[in-house]
Structure 1
């Protein structure tokens, strides 16, 4: 299984990818919605996740941990100049499939996301295999990163697929 898989996807691509995975395996999506509180959000379907793969000012990466239903996670608290802030890092989880989602940004750029299996627990490794299998079926491979069907359509239409919104256009992913 690859250590880390980079991909470009819209919310529709991600939901389409995860729908058969959700049918095959029992897990929850867990994430920290607000860094000012330790409250974690938990959903059983990708379609129920708000602001999925959509960026807005002040929001950069959404980290989703796919864990067994009922798993207890504790976000880490750090003192910052703005007061206490909470973070959910993969190291705070024993084993999970971790998605760091970027997605669409203002101005039309689609930023690269990534996922990997954290830890070696059987449930995480098995879930990672299921996701990898469905990603091979649904996404196209373009010189490394995988592209969901909608992301590929964005690329074909001349849209910007990039690893960083501030990167020069020469470094964008292109059809050649």
Structure 2
């Protein structure tokens, strides 16, 4: 059974937690930036990821996988109606690691929640997730049951919208207690 946690965070909130994962063992952050190409983007550190936790469209910005250094999953290809190959990289192709569904800060002034979850039941993957989750619980605020990073909490207190969806009605937004 996959373990998961959803949270509101800015890049400043999340980076120390990801660096903790890197301190346990060498990992790579991989994603498939272009569905029309099988070429993966690979980052050796979370600090190298451009525009971390920024969502220009308000939809899933990136699905990033945190895997053991050197692990090389193969994107799955399928012939599209246009005649071109279309690729995807998901948990079945990765096999084991952590999956980070990245949303974050929208330029319209809202912060959307992101999610981290396990892929596979490998002991190392579970240990990394548990350490992330413990640190998240220790450092993040709890607002109506949601983990909210320190900078995200500051933005909430200053009136920024923390919401699950940009189109959600304002009464569904996360509000300070």
TM-score using structure 1 length: 0.91
1:23-69 Cα offsets, whole Å, 9 max, x none, are 23321111112222111111121110012111124863311111111
Where does residue 85 of structure 2 map in the other structure? 84
Does structure 2 retain, via aligned residues, the 8 Å contact 1:25–1:127? no
Does structure 2 retain, via aligned residues, the 8 Å contact 1:75–1:88? yes
Moved more, 1-10 or 150-159: 1-10
Distance in 2 separating the partners of 1:148 and 1:87: 31
Is residue 138 from structure 1 mapped to residue 144 from structure 2 by the alignment?
Answer: no
The residue matched to 2:15 in structure 1 has which SS?
helix
TM-score using structure 2 length: 0.90
Moved more, 59-68 or 93-102: 59-68
Moved more, 149-158 or 71-80: 71-80
> Structure 1, unaligned stretches of length 5 or more?
none
Q: CA deviation at 1:2?
A: 7.9
Q: CA deviation at 1:127?
A: 1.1
Moved more, 151-160 or 1-10: 1-10
RMSD: 2.0
Is residue 117 from structure 1 mapped to residue 114 from structure 2 by the alignment?
Answer: no
Q: CA deviation at 1:6?
A: 0.8
Where does residue 49 of structure 1 map in the other structure? 49
Distance in 2 separating the partners of 1:87 and 1:144: 33
Where does residue 161 of structure 1 map in the other structure? 162
Is residue 73 from structure 1 mapped to residue 78 from structure 2 by the alignment?
Answer: no
Where does residue 174 of structure 1 map in the other structure? 175
Does structure 1 retain, via aligned residues, the 8 Å contact 2:59–2:103? no
Q: CA deviation at 1:77?
A: 2.0
> Structure 2, unaligned stretches of length 5 or more?
none
1:61-110 Cα offsets, whole Å, 9 max, x none, are 31111111111111122344554322211122211111101001121110
Which consecutive aligned stretches of 4+ in structure 1 deviate over 4 angstroms post-superposition? none
Matched pairs, number = 176
Distance in 2 separating the partners of 1:145 and 1:77: 37
Counterpart mapping for 1:10-21 below 5 A: 10-21=10-21
